[in-house]
Structures are given as C-alpha cells and as structure tokens.
Structure 1
Amino acid sequence: MTRRKSIAATIADADAASTRLTRALGPLQMTLMGIGVTVGAGIFVLTGTAAARYAGPSIVLSYLLGAVATFLVALCYTEFASTVPVAGSAYTYAYVSLGELVAWIIGWDLILDMTMGAGAVATGWSQYVTDFLGSFGVHLPSAIAGPTATLNVPAVLVVLVLTAVLAAGIRTTARANLVMTFVKLAAVALFLVIGVQHLHSANWSPFVPAGKAAAAGGSLWQEPLLSKLGLGLNASFGAAGVLTGGAIVFGAYSGFDIMASSAEEARDPRRTMPRALSATVAVCALLYMAVAVVVTGMEHYTRLDNAAPITGALEAVGAHWASRVIGLGAICGLTTVVMIMMLGQSRVFLAMSRDRLIPEWFSHVHPVTRSPRRVVWPLGIAVALMTALLPINDLAELGNIGMLISFVIVCLGVMRLRRTQPDQPRAFTTPWVPFVPVLAIVLCVILALSLPLVTWVRFLAWMAAGLVLYYFYGRRHSRVASAENAETAENAETTASAPLSEPRP
C-alpha cells in the first residue's frame, strides 16, 4: 500500500511551534525573490556556453522552448502552491498526491538540483569577480580563481557568506535580495541599451548552425540520450542543438520552483503565490530572449564559451566602462541566485526532516531568527564543496536534469490529486487538465532526454544512492510509518483486550 500524507496533516505539521517558519513575504517581495533567483545564471553565465557549444544564435529558440515548458509547469505548481502552502515544493506536492516513495525520490532529486545549481552559479560568480578585479589591474592567481582553478576560493567564500545570511532569517534574506535584484535589473537594462548599438547581423548567420557529428571515443558520452535511443541526434547545433541548449538553459527558469518551496513564508499564500509565480515567468522569459538576441548579435557565438559572456561581449566592442558597471550588476545578480537557491534547498530538506525521512533533529527552527540553522549550515558546506571540486558545465547539467524530473512529478501529481480529491478546495486551478500537464510532461521529457548520456549516468547513480538510504532509514522512521505502526499496535491491543465470545451451545 502506498503511504500518503493528507493535506490537512501536512499543514498541521508545518504549524508546529518548534518547526514553524515566519509568514513575512508579500506579493512584491515574493515576485522579486522569484526574479532574483531566475534572472542570473541564464543571462550572465549559461547564455554564452549554451550558444557556443550547442545552439549558436538559435539559443533564443532554446530559451523560447524553455519558456513554453516553464509556463505550462508553472500552472501546475501554482495549483499546488495555493492548495498546500507549506515548505518543500515538489517534494511536499508528491507526498500528498503520489505517496511517500515518490516524495522521497523527488526530495532527493531536489537536493541534487539545488546543490548543483547553486554551485554552478557560484562558479560563474567567481569568474565575474575575477574579470571585474582584473579590469582594475588586480589579477587573482588562476590556481584559486577562474574556470581552471584547482580550488575555486572566491566561489567557496561567497557560498559560506550567503549561508550565514540565510541563517540570520528570512527578513534579512529578503532585504538583501531586494537591493541586489534592483541592481541586477538595472545592469541588464544597461546591457540591452548598449548592446543594440553594436549588433552585427553577420553574427546571426547561420541562425541555426549545421549539426556536427560526434567524434569517436569518450565524446560519445556527451551525446544526448535521444541519440542513444536510435533517433540519430547530435548534441552540437542543428535542431538537436536547440533542444540540448533548451535543456541546458532550462535551469534558468527554476525561480518559480524555489518560490514554491518558500510558500510557507508568504503572507496570504493562496493569493500571493499565483500572482508572484505568473509575474516571475513572464518577466524573466522576455529578459532572457532579449539578452540572447543581443549577445549573439554583438559577438560571434564561437567566442562566447566562457563563464562571463556578457562582460566579455562588452569588452570585445570596446565598452570597457560598461563592462565594469554591468560586471558589478552581474556579481550582485548571481549572488541573489546562489542565495535563493540555497534557501529553497534548505526548505526542501526541512520538509523531509519534519516527515522524519531524514533525522528529525534537522527540523528545529531557531526561536529568534525562525531560520532552520541545523539545515542551512550543513547544506551550505555541501554546496561549497561541490563548487570547489566540479566544473560549471557538469554542475549545470546535473542541476537541470534533477529539476526536469521534479517538474514531471508535479504535473503527474496535479492529475492524480484531481482524481483522488476532486472536492479539495483550490484557490487556483490549472486550466485544461489533463492537456496542460501532459503537454508539460512531454516537453520536460524531451528536454531531459536531450541532456548528455554522462549526465544521465551520474543522475541515476545519485538516485540509486538515495533509494538505498530510503530503504535503510527513511521508510522505517517516517512520520506516516510511525502513525501506521501506532495504529496497528492500538488495534492489536484492543483486539487482545476484547472479551471472548461465549461458546456456542
């Protein structure tokens, strides 16, 4: 029998005094949080690498594909976020709709997604800091900073500082996000204004570069899984390159997922969440596509393969002063992305701890700051380690596959809950069910299968480790299992103490 947790019990557990978070975020703050985590890596980091390696100028189509898939998935998230407004995002939604095992799988998956995603952005942040300091004649040693660093010290330091900010509480986090998000948006606007003055149409030709066959040897691991299924697709350029580029940059739209994981900290979440989610997706999609068009028009896509493509394009056209200003905005922007991704990561971990799928000790919330410090610090240190050890591309791809799988689960959960609990009050309902969830699932699966084979191997290894942990710990200690065992023991005791019936004559 599949263990499920009721919506009422989920909300009641979140309201316990020792684990309750503070509802301190209004619609504007929540929207800015979404924009703060969404507008960042996709513009300042991944645009260049995805264009150079996978899609060329057609990266704008990759962003458009990602935007369509994101909008459909966001509709499903919005229904859940307004119905079950507690921490945990896809993990919580899976628990109430599809059961404990699926919830564990998606929770374990989200830890991978947000850890790797935060690490990828922190690596890009380090490159922007290195370039920014270099523009003033301060050059950090390549062994401790930059894409070839043995130990990426700036990236590790920013992760640890942001961990301390998160430990200080949601109000401190929201204030820091507000300031840095406005700086980031101003930097994006300045880039667009300057960039349109340096466009060269030749850089957009061909708009969709011809596909390249994979080389022999180890590079076969870099082919998308679709090619391994006999569809003859290559990861580099052409139509398949647009798909692979879409899968790579899809993580740029993950802000609404992080917002959903923070629904417990929103005031009047049944009204705040639908508004904030829809505004975030619309604003960010427009900004991403605009920047993709401009940056590939300024600089040929073959020269964008670096962790700081925006400032690199400005330097190439001689806009050195703008490069410095926008570099500072990018640093602020990427800082908010790392911070909010780590916030979402900690909320998922907190929800799993409340359900005792991981030790309940982690669910304790500090009585003054109302921050889950026992979760925040271990996860922050884990992100710092991943950032120090793995390159940006591996981090981004692992984060994206985890997110795409979680999106599929949420869409399945909406359809399941509609069948099993049709009378459950919903402040927002996803339109055209099951058409919208099914279409979202198809798009997410295509994008996931467009990721390199090596990414799938690493992902499956991570999930296998998670299933082992669930088997030996989670399934035996979960709150739902404890309630079932207590009920079974009570029934057995009642049966044993009941008077025996008189023997028949």
Structure 2
Amino acid sequence: MPAKIGGVESVAMAVGGMVGGGIFAVLGVVAAEAGPSAWMAFVVSGLIAVCAGYSFVTLNERLANPGSPITIIERFTGSTNLAGMAGWTFVIGYIGTMGLYAYAFGSYFAAILGVSTAAGLPLQPVISAAVIVIFIGINALGSHASGRTEESLVGLKVLILLAFCGGGLYYGFTHGELESGISSLGTGPIVAAAISFVAFEGWELLLFDQNSVRNPRETVPKAIYTSIAGVTLLYVLVALVTTSLLSPSTIQKNPETALAVAANPFFGSVGFGLISIAALFSTASALNATLFSTSRLMRQLATDSLLPTQLESRGREPIRELIVLGALTAVLASFGSLNAISSFASLTFITLFGLVSFLAYTERSSAVHSALVPAIGTLGSGGAIVALGWHLATTEFGTFVVVLLLTVLVIVIELQYFERTPIRRELETLEK
C-alpha cells in the first residue's frame, strides 16, 4: 500500500494546484483591468476562496467518513442530481483551467522562440494542442509515469516567483517605483477579482483525494487554510511588482507574458527568459496534474452513473476520459481568447464555491461553527458573478456572448441528462 502524505506534502499539493498556469496567464488580464490596485483583486479572491474552504471543511467534518465535494453536496442537499450536476461543473471548470494552462504554455513557448507563426499557422494554438497530446500520452501510460513527471515539473516554480518578487520589490523600492494603487481605487479590483478567481482553484483537489492523506480530519483543513493564505500573499507581491514596473499600455500589449516582461528591469535580458521558462514548467505541471485528477473524477462520475457510461474506460487507465478531456481542452485553447477562457473558468469556480458557501450557511445551526464566514463567501461569490457579467457585457460584448453561450450550453446539457436518466432507469426496470 502506498504511503500516505502528511501535512507538508498536503500544503505543497494545494499550493502546486493553485500556483499553476493561472497566475502566469491571468495576471496580465487582471493588471490591465485594475492597474496598480490589481493586488487588491487577489486579496478579494483569496478571501472568497478562504470562505469556500471553511465551508467545505466544516461540512466535511459532519460526514461519517471524509468525502469529496460531490459527496458533501449530495449529503447536505439530499439530491443526487444536484451532486451530479456539481460534478459535471467541476469537470467543465477543470477543462477551462486546462485550456488556460495550455494557452499560456503556447504563448510563452512562442515568446521564447520569438516567432508567432509556423508554416503559415499561428504558433500558439499549435503548441497548445501539442502539449495536450503529450500529456494525454503520459497519463495513458499510468499514474506512476504521470507522478514522476509531476515531481520533475513542480519544484522550480514557487522559487522563481519568490525570486521575481524579491528582485522586483528591491528594484522598485530603490528606484521609487512601487505603487500601492490605493489612490486609483474604483470598480477595477472587484471586476479583476472575479477574473482572477481561476488562479485560486486547485486546493479543493485535496478534498477529492482525502484517502491518500494521513489523518485527513486534521491535516486537510490546515493544508487548505495555509495554502490559500500563502498563495494570496505570493499573488499580491507578484501583482504589486508587475503593475509598479510596467505601464498600463505595456501590460495591455502583452497580457499573456506580462509577468516575464516585468522581470526585465531588475533581471535584465535574462529576466524574460527565466520567467518564461518558469511559466513553461508551471503551466505544464498544472496541465499534467489537472488532466490526471480530472480524468479520474470523470471515471468515478461514470461509475456512479452521473456521466454517460460510454465515457467510462474499462481498462486500468481512464483512456476514454483522457481523450475526451484532451479534445475539449484543445478546442478551448486553440480557438478561445485569453479573456474568454479565464472568464469562463473563473465563473465556473466562483459558482461552485458560492454554492458550497451558501450550503454551509443554510446548515449554520448544526454543521457550521460560524455563519459569518459562509455568508461572506456567498455574498462575495454572488457579487463577483454580477461584476464579471457586467464587465464583459459593457466592455467586451463578444467575450460576454461566448461565455454566456458556453454557460447556457453546459446547463442545458446537464438538465437534459439528469432529467432523462431517472426515466431511462424506470423503463429499464419495467422491461426487466
């Protein structure tokens, strides 16, 4: 039996899940929206994430055995269909984040090469699709190959980001260029918080795999709170450095690689390459880990008849699930814009985390120790959804239409499946 992981490893897993490709890809979009006050957007997103973490943890404590987020939703709503729809939404959200990671990987790869096209085709979509195919192959070889690949990718990213923060803060302080952004407060940080929320997904993966954690009742809550707090601080510092050292026009011109461009003033010509390499490691790591976890989540949903059984692989590895996930991710990364992908992925997880916060609030008399925390999570999530919709509708109507159509399509498909499945089961029973 494989050894179970402890507290340090759990924190590392949660941090690795969040500090994936999200910050590298979404930072430019957040900074372009909020300017010097972009760091406040990450504080708001971190607060909503902490409230959702508290809600998950307190509800999980009421279960006889530690359960996944889907189990938690089913237990406290009494609805298998709602739990199944939440499971689908998690899968859709992870496809969105994988699309973001693949998009960022392709953008940074093209930036390192210094070319934007190859054989007359845009290079970013080609590289994004290629890296997805590579990781489908690695995951199809088995969990051992995927795990070893993950170990080789994770180690460098946090250290390089910390070096970026340290060098940038020193340079900005000595040159008098650090900006707090307090004087430019407005609606920007609220809207940017909604866009940036995708950079905080990943800690919830610990809840899906609590059986591999030693003493999960104690270890998982500590890992969730510690990781969210640490990652929020890291994002705040990264945003502070980037918006202080780059002009708004430079950020808007280079949203995909803004973090790498910001390293030039204090790391010189090496800076762009160093951060770009870190982005490649980080986005590849996140893509691999999310593909691994989501394929197994899909298999479990199919096993529980919460997904069509045609998607369930019969062999040891979830090959069918990997192919479906890879194909959908490739389409999103190849044809979607950075803003559309990040907005859709953020909207998905804001909705899920807001739902769980609301569920915890309704159980405040018995399951939840404090009603204030889930109330803040519920109101914060609702406000972020409204802010994101308003922002897209008024400033990027095309992106708003794309995100709205994707959302409606997902909801309609989910409703159709979960309405017809009970009828199909009844017919099968009558036939027998």
The bucket for the TM-score relative to the shorter chain is: 0.7 to 0.9
Is 2:204 the partner of 1:204?
no
Shift in Å, 1:246: 0.2
- Structure 2 distance, partners of 1:334, 1:110, is 19
Point out the structure with the larger helix share: 2
Task: Name the structure 1 match of 2:158.
Answer: 185
- Structure 2 distance, partners of 1:81, 1:205, is 39
Task: Name the structure 1 match of 2:232.
Answer: 285
Asked if structure 1 preserves the Cα contact closer than 8 Å seen for 2:126 and 2:334, the reply is yes
After TM superposition, the structure 1 stretch with the greater mean CA deviation from structure 2, 356-365 or 120-129, is: 356-365
Structure 1 residues 308 and 365 mapped into 2: Cα distance closer, same or farther (>3 Å)? farther
**What stretches of structure 1 move > 6 A for 4+ residues in a row?**
none
Task: Name the structure 1 match of 2:352.
Answer: 406
- Structure 2 distance, partners of 1:85, 1:187, is 35
- Structure 1 distance, partners of 2:35, 2:69, is 33
Q: Deviations over 1:154-213 (max 9, x none)?
A: 11111122223333444443333333221111211221232224326557386554xxxx
Which residue type is aligned with residue 70 of structure 1?
A: A
Which residue type is aligned with residue 281 of structure 2?
A: C
Structure 1 residues 318 and 174 mapped into 2: Cα distance closer, same or farther (>3 Å)? closer
Which consecutive residues of structure 1, in runs of 5 or more, have no partner in the other structure?
A: 1-20, 210-237, 423-428, 491-505
Is 2:243 the partner of 1:296?
yes
* SS, match of residue 306 in structure 2: coil
- Structure 2 distance, partners of 1:394, 1:113, is 13
Shift in Å, 1:447: 0.8
Q: 1:441 aligns with which of 358, 378, 381?
A: 378
Which residue type is aligned with residue 179 of structure 2?
A: W
- Structure 1 distance, partners of 2:197, 2:418, is 29
Task: Name the structure 2 match of 1:465.
Answer: 413
- Structure 2 distance, partners of 1:393, 1:22, is 41
Task: Name the structure 1 match of 2:13.
Answer: 33
Structure 1 residues 477 and 348 mapped into 2: Cα distance closer, same or farther (>3 Å)? farther
Task: Name the structure 2 match of 1:124.
Answer: 104
Structure 1 residues 143 and 185 mapped into 2: Cα distance closer, same or farther (>3 Å)? farther
* SS, match of residue 118 in structure 2: coil
Is 2:40 the partner of 1:57?
no
Structure 1 residues 418 and 443 mapped into 2: Cα distance closer, same or farther (>3 Å)? closer
Q: 1:392 aligns with which of 338, 341, 364?
A: 338
- Structure 2 distance, partners of 1:142, 1:257, is 41
* SS, match of residue 356 in structure 1: coil
- Structure 2 distance, partners of 1:417, 1:361, is 37
TM-score normalized by the length of structure 2: 0.85
Q: Deviations over 1:10-32 (max 9, x none)?
A: xxxxxxxxxxx988544433332
Structure 1 residues 389 and 313 mapped into 2: Cα distance closer, same or farther (>3 Å)? same
Shift in Å, 1:139: 6.5
- Structure 2 distance, partners of 1:382, 1:276, is 31
Larger radius of gyration: 1
Shift in Å, 1:349: 1.9
Shift in Å, 1:404: 1.0
Q: Deviations over 1:204-251 (max 9, x none)?
A: 386554xxxxxxxxxxxxxxxxxxxxxxxxxxxx52221110001111
Is 2:326 the partner of 1:380?
yes
Shift in Å, 1:285: 1.0
- Structure 1 distance, partners of 2:83, 2:5, is 26
- Structure 1 distance, partners of 2:227, 2:248, is 28
Q: Deviations over 1:256-283 (max 9, x none)?
A: 1233233344444334322322222122
Is 2:26 the partner of 1:46?
yes
Shift in Å, 1:318: 6.7
Task: Name the structure 1 match of 2:305.
Answer: 356
Task: Name the structure 2 match of 1:310.
Answer: 259
Asked if structure 1 preserves the Cα contact closer than 8 Å seen for 2:50 and 2:228, the reply is yes
Shift in Å, 1:385: 2.0
Structure 1 residues 202 and 276 mapped into 2: Cα distance closer, same or farther (>3 Å)? closer
Q: How many residues align?
A: 414
- Structure 2 distance, partners of 1:178, 1:447, is 35
* SS, match of residue 156 in structure 2: helix
* SS, match of residue 203 in structure 2: helix
Asked if structure 1 preserves the Cα contact closer than 8 Å seen for 2:91 and 2:298, the reply is yes
Asked if structure 2 preserves the Cα contact closer than 8 Å seen for 1:91 and 1:348, the reply is no
TM-score normalized by the length of structure 1: 0.74
Shift in Å, 1:359: 2.7
Q: 2:196 aligns with which of 249, 254, 275?
A: 249
Asked if structure 2 preserves the Cα contact closer than 8 Å seen for 1:37 and 1:338, the reply is no
Which residue type is aligned with residue 77 of structure 1?
A: F
Structure 1 residues 438 and 58 mapped into 2: Cα distance closer, same or farther (>3 Å)? same
Asked if structure 2 preserves the Cα contact closer than 8 Å seen for 1:55 and 1:241, the reply is yes
Structure 1 residues 142 and 292 mapped into 2: Cα distance closer, same or farther (>3 Å)? farther
* SS, match of residue 255 in structure 1: coil
Task: Name the structure 2 match of 1:230.
Answer: none
Which residue type is aligned with residue 341 of structure 1?
A: T
After TM superposition, the structure 1 stretch with the greater mean CA deviation from structure 2, 439-448 or 409-418, is: 409-418
After TM superposition, the structure 1 stretch with the greater mean CA deviation from structure 2, 283-292 or 355-364, is: 355-364
Asked if structure 1 preserves the Cα contact closer than 8 Å seen for 2:169 and 2:178, the reply is no
Is 2:278 the partner of 1:329?
yes
* SS, match of residue 239 in structure 1: coil
Task: Name the structure 2 match of 1:225.
Answer: none
* Residues 479-498 of structure 1: pairs in structure 2 closer than 5 A: none
- Structure 2 distance, partners of 1:80, 1:373, is 33
Which residue type is aligned with residue 156 of structure 1?
A: A
* Residues 107-256 of structure 1: pairs in structure 2 closer than 5 A: 107-134=87-114, 140-141=117-118, 144-145=121-122, 152-199=125-172, 201=176, 204=179, 207=182, 209=184, 239-256=186-203
- Structure 2 distance, partners of 1:159, 1:23, is 30
After TM superposition, the structure 1 stretch with the greater mean CA deviation from structure 2, 351-360 or 194-203, is: 194-203
- Structure 2 distance, partners of 1:409, 1:477, is 29
Kindly report the root-mean-square deviation, in angstroms, between the aligned alpha carbons of the 2 structures: 3.1
